[in-house]
Structure 1
């Protein structure tokens, strides 16, 4: 490449993180490698945004625990952080609004890239070193107005766009058309086919980065919770600090899995009643 300038990217992952797994963390690394391998981007930050309790998903434990586990899982990362804004809202917040919130912060705050949750001195130094490398490269533009926010998700989230009353059509249009998506494939998923079948996704296909994980790792939070309530080991599926936290607080039991049982998921409540 000649003098092409790279765009700074912030990756935002929204979800339950119930609990956070090694695969959730792996998604960030995969997306960063893929985007930077294109030669067009430099990924400077990753954000984990756990959903609030008002989402009403079955088996969803309290946000305070999910936030703490996410922070423990990322304490050794120099670039992945945890944000509690979404989880602290009194009502469920649509993903499009969460993305919009972080985009506004990105556009308005010069310190947003460096605003890392629970940053330790070592992490801060690593982050500063990474930023210094970016700023010293003659091919990288680090001006604030070139920073870009992308939603990071698995193929299951992308395919959920087709579930009636789970997403507002205008939210899908905004997320994909204005911000873009980094989508990690999973075993049995076919995101390219889903993109082809959707007029909206196909129209914005250049904004969707489909990223394949060749070293397959099918860790599922659902399977982790099942193992936990059966008293089975989940070590090496989750960071050790998260496993210890779960044990210390006796999280994930047959009782906790029944939380919100019979309650309609927040998006279905909101969108079905409005139709």
Structure 2
């Protein structure tokens, strides 16, 4: 059996305790998982207040270098064009031929997965770890969609997934209001944000350093 790399995508703007807690839970709950690969979106991603990729990668690396089964991929950041999920997965599979690649996604994305470019290839080549969001029910979503139901063996619900109100948006807002966010994210990231003065003003990927 091949070992598995779990692709955990997101903006990580900033990375929070919830991201790392969930990643650790996935690693511990699936014995075939070799590592969790954080895949931050590129600066081309159309999201308001997106901090430069340089900072987001640095914050991820501060935590991942202290955990042997956490890694960071810059595959989307290094691309000259905005990649969609299937392109990212193909690239990771090519780079790690001796591993199986799994994708994490929330039930919010599961609901629209069959509208994504290359969704058929995603369901046929890559397993998906699904995290229930809000009041969503994984089984109901799958059974109400004929395509998802047909590929239900490729969809794995993450049991007892961590739910947290410590969203990145909440943390950014608190920082701009001058409020403390300590203990809502790892100390390494907290002190990095303080040192760099991040999120106290609207610092976007269009204001890159260097």
Gaps of 5+ in 1: 1-5, 37-41, 108-143, 261-275
2:150 alignment counterpart: 203
| Residue ranges of structure 2 left out of the alignment (5+ in a row) | none
1:215-237 residue CA offsets vs partner (Å, 9 max, x unmatched):
64333111111211111111122
Residue in structure 1 matched with residue 109 of structure 2 by the alignment = 157
2:15 to 13, 20, 25: 20
Distance 1:214 1:243, change over 3 A: same
SS class of match (1:78): coil
Shift of 1:243: 0.9
3-state DSSP of counterpart to 1:53: coil
The equivalent residue for 1:212 is 159
Structure 1 residue 214 displacement after superposition: 5.8
The Cα of 1:90 is off from its aligned counterpart by 1.8
RMSD (CA atoms):
2.1
Number of positions where the alignment pairs a residue of Structure 1 with one of Structure 2: 206
Q: Deviations over 1:47-90 (max 9, x none)?
A: 11111011121111111111101111212111111111211212
**Shift in Å, 1:158:** 2.4
Normalised by the length of structure 1, the TM-score is 0.68
Select the residue among 4, 18, 22 that pairs with 1:9: 4
Match of 2:58 in 1: 68
Contact 2:75–2:91 at 8 Å: present in 1 too? no
- Number of the residue aligned with 2:127: 180
Q: How many angstroms does 1:94 deviate by?
A: 0.8
Cα deviations across residues 95-143 of structure 1 (Å, max 9, x unaligned)? 1111110111111xxxxxxxxxxxxxxxxxxxxxxxxxxxxxxxxxxxx
By percentage of residues, which structure has more helix?
Answer: 1
Tell me the TM-score normalised to structure 2 length: 0.88
Distance 1:89 1:205 in 2: 32
Structural mapping, 1:1-275, within 5 Å: 6-36=1-31, 42-107=32-97, 144=98, 147-161=99-113, 167-168=116-117, 171-213=118-160, 216-253=163-200, 255-256=202-203
CA distance in 1: counterparts of 2:166 and 2:11, whole angstroms: 15
